[in-house]
Structure 1
């Protein structure tokens, strides 16, 4: 009888050890439906970028942003007041499940108070060289920041390629 009880107990332990704890598994990070909506509206700020020419110094220029919600995502229209002929129109589009943002893999999403930080990674090129890019998006009702870090596949030290820092324009009374 002890042998049978011992075998049953051993079998139960083996079964428990092989059962995945699916209900305890953490959900992969994902952009939430309201995250990008925080961007809608008018913003003012700056772009700081690393010059491609040696000595690769940082350059900072004023920038404005208009963000509009469309069916497929958020349309971003960037303008640079000191360089009227320079502008950029792009989209921020999260996949249906939120695991990618503009084909970049969402690595983390954290929320603290009314601020959301999303970090993405992707294969990229920088100045024609293969690299890994990491973009950090910080969104809140008053602040929007987007910073792109580049790690060249050649093994050089990672560097900041560009960083946008915006505050929301005040609403007229």
Structure 2
């Protein structure tokens, strides 16, 4: 009996280790065919000061992608059309590994991802926090350097819905 309980506990532990958080485009369906207006806030590399830029965005969700068309109101030459694939059976959003997904009682969603890269020429880990519901959408990018427990916000997009779904 004691061996059976020990085996079951070990099995549950192994299953939990291998369980991974996943997402699908269904998690983002509330954003499909929507128009947004908001602000990009970023920390300038030279001055270290916070800068705000007015933005608008349109979002489309397909079976396997999240399509974001972002316009920078005063800098149209910086506009971006981003198509991001959900990869590896939902374990990645583009190159970002999904580490957390919470669907709250009110239907809002919070997804946290992480990725490796360089910030200001130095190796770093990036943490992205996506939070959205039918009226609000935000993405915050935090940076953490090796040998540091601290993170800092590099940029954040915060949007409010402009129109209802079509």
TM bracket, shorter-chain basis: 0.7 to 0.9
* Equivalent of residue 126 in structure 2, options 116, 127, 133: 133
Alignment RMSD, CA only? Answer: 2.3
* Equivalent of residue 44 in structure 1, options 34, 37, 43: 37
Matched, 1:108 2:100: yes
Tell me by how many angstroms 1:122 deviates: 1.2
Deviation beyond 6 Å, 4+ runs, structure 1: none
Tell me by how many angstroms 1:154 deviates: 5.8
Please name the residue that 1:74 is paired with. 66
Q: Is the 8 A contact 1:133 1:149 kept in 2?
A: yes
Tell me by how many angstroms 1:92 deviates: 2.6
Please name the residue that 2:142 is paired with. 149
Please name the residue that 1:9 is paired with. none
Tell me by how many angstroms 1:32 deviates: 3.8
Please name the residue that 2:113 is paired with. 120
Q: Is the 8 A contact 1:73 1:93 kept in 2?
A: yes
Distance of aligned partners of 1:21 and 1:75 in 2 relative to their CA distance in 1, 3 Å threshold? same
Unaligned runs of 5+ in 1: 1-11
Q: Is the 8 A contact 2:25 2:64 kept in 1?
A: no
Please name the residue that 1:159 is paired with. 152
Tell me by how many angstroms 1:109 deviates: 0.4
What TM-score results when the alignment is normalised by the length of structure 2? 0.85
Which stretch shows the higher mean deviation, 154-163 or 24-33?
24-33
Q: Return the alpha-carbon distance in structure 1 between the equivalents of residues 82 and 88 of structure 2.
A: 19
Which stretch shows the higher mean deviation, 35-44 or 105-114?
35-44
Q: Return the alpha-carbon distance in structure 2 between the equivalents of residues 94 and 72 of structure 1.
A: 6
State the secondary structure of the residue aligned to 2:3. helix
Q: Is the 8 A contact 2:66 2:85 kept in 1?
A: yes
What TM-score results when the alignment is normalised by the length of structure 1? 0.82
Q: Is the 8 A contact 2:25 2:65 kept in 1?
A: no
Number of positions where the alignment pairs a residue of Structure 1 with one of Structure 2: 160
Please name the residue that 1:15 is paired with. 4
